[in-house]
Structure formats: structure tokens, C-alpha cells
């Protein structure tokens, strides 16, 4: 299996909620919370795609290069941010990089370096379906069906209950981390999903939207 999707691994977060295990100079994606760091597991999931881009902090340069060297990972490029600026500016930076190389029709998948994904077959199927929608100029995000009223995640509100299918459904709204009562309401409604922080899109479409909403970013 090979998918014509360029994976972009976001690895600049500091994981402050897991302090003291996760610290500013040694964040959770590099901690061995399992048998291997999540950063390593993320890169090991990517061979079905193109060689990835990594966007991370300049402060994590040694940790990143060590992981690439020890595991012999092949990547297209590592982009080091002098200061963390959150997801949207990092995506804009990637789009600018690809635009400068004439690759505006490339479909990109943005993945967090600290996601634990146990069912990789379901992950690949979902990303492949999202990639097909992205080819048609849709911006796609993946949601996770909640099984409890979790207050530590953001939520995606969707138009219908497309649970268990790979058919895209319209996003109505993104919700920040809710109170316990509101999280229970989301769970009961059945049209709210945990926000996985995974986005799939065509570069040209994302550039178009950045220009349109520049004043709001």
C-alpha cells in the first residue's frame, strides 16, 4: 500500500499536562511512556506515505536528530521553529515551503507526534478516504468516537452520525475542552467527536483559505 500523501509531523509541543514526566526540554513525545517514544511510533507508521516533513522546535533539535539517526528514519526535511507558534502558523510554514517548490497540488496529512494509534489498519483506511476528499478540495479532519465524557480533549461537532463509516460529513463547529456536564451532553448527543488534531488537505486549498481568513489568524 502506498498513498500519495505527504505526512507532516507536528512535534513542537511541550506536553505540560504530563509534568513532571514531560518537561519543557524533554516533552512527552520523546518520553518512553510505552516501550518506545510516541515520536518514534509516529514515524514508524508513515512508510505507506511519502517521506515526511517534521515541524518542531529548535529546542528539540538534538532529540529529533537522535531519533532519526538511531531508527534510520528517512525524512524529506525537518523544519525547526525558533519559537512555538501553534498549529496554524506551522501549517502555513509548510504550505509556503511546498509552494516555493511548485507543489501546491500536493495532498498533505498533518499528524501529531504524540498520538497513540493502536488500530493502524483503521487509521490507514480513514486517511486514504480523507485523501480522496482532499483531492476534491475538501479540508478534512479526523475525529475519534468518544466512549466517555472526557474533559481533556477538544471536540468536533458534525452534521450527522457518520460513525463507523468512511463517508465524510460536514463539520459544524470546533469546541474547546468542555466542563464535565457539557462533555456528558456531547457524549449523549452522538454528533460530537474527540478532536484528534489530524488534518488532510491540498496545499493550494489551504493557501486559499489562509489568504481569505488572514485577518482572523
Strands 140-144 and 53-57: unpaired
- Read off the pLDDT of each residue in 11-29 and give the average, rounded to a whole number: 52
What local confidence, expressed as pLDDT, does residue 27 receive?
A: 56
The domain of 31 spans: 5-142+197-216
Which secondary structure element, helix H or strand E, spans residue 124, and what is its range? helix 120-135
Q: Which residues are 212's β-sheet partners?
A: none
DSSP 3-state of 213: coil
- pLDDT at 116 exceeding the cut of 90: no
Grid coordinates belonging to 63: 532529540
- pLDDT at 80 exceeding the cut of 50: yes
What local confidence, expressed as pLDDT, does residue 182 receive?
A: 97
Which secondary structure element, helix H or strand E, spans residue 157, and what is its range? strand 155-158
Helix axes 203-212, 87-99, angle to 10 degrees: 120
Number of domains the chain is built from: 1
DSSP-assigned states of every residue in 34-101: SSS-HHHHHHHT-TTSSPPEEEEEGGGHHHHHHHHHHHT---SEEEEESS---HHHHHHHHHHHHHTT
- pLDDT at 209 exceeding the cut of 80: yes
Let me know if residue 175 belongs to a domain: no
Q: Judge contact between 140 and 133, C-beta under 8 A.
A: yes
Let me know if residue 133 belongs to a domain: yes
CATH of the domain at 13: 3.90.550.10
- Read off the pLDDT of each residue in 90-118 and give the average, rounded to a whole number: 93
DSSP 3-state of 200: strand
What local confidence, expressed as pLDDT, does residue 160 receive?
A: 79
What local confidence, expressed as pLDDT, does residue 146 receive?
A: 93
Let me know if residue 111 belongs to a domain: yes
Let me know if residue 151 belongs to a domain: no
Report pTM: 0.86
Amino acid at each position: 500500500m502506498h498513498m500519495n500523501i505527504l505526512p507532516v509531523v507536528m512535534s513542537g509541543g511541550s506536553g505540560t499536562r504530563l509534568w513532571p514526566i514531560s518537561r519543557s526540554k524533554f516533552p512527552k513525545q520523546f518520553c518512553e511512556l510505552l516501550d518506545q517514544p510516541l515520536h518514534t511510533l509516529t514515524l514508524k507508521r508513515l512508510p505507506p506515505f511519502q517521506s515526511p516533513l517534521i515541524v518542531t522546535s529548535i529546542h528539540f533539535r538534538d532529540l529529533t536528530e537522535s531519533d532519526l539517526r538511531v531508527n534510520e528514519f528517512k525524512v524529506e526535511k525537518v523544519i525547526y521553529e525558533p519559537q512555538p507558534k501553534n498549529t496554524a502558523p506551522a501549517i502555513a510554514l509548510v504550505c509556503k515551503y511546498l509552494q516555493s517548490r511548485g507543489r501546491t497540488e500536493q495532498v498533505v496529512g498533518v499528524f501529531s507526534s504524540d498520538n497513540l494509534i493502536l488500530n493502524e489498519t483503521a487509521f490507514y483506511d480513514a486517511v486514504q478516504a480523507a485523501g480522496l476528499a482532499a483531492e476534491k478540495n475538501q479540508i478534512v479532519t479526523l475525529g475519534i468516537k468518544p466512549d466517555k465524557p472526557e474533559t481533556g480533549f477538544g471536540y468536533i461537532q458534525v452534521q450527522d452520525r457518520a460513525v463507523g463509516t468512511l463517508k465524510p460529513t460536514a463539520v459544524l463547529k470546533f469546541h474547546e475542552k468542555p466542563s464535565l456536564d457539557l462533555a456528558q451532553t456531547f457524549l449523549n448527543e452522538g454528533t460530537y467527536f474527540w478532536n484528534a488534531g489530524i488534518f488532510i488537505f491540498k496545499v493550494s486549498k489551504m493557501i486559499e483559505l489562509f489568504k481569505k481568513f488572514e485577518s482572523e489568524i
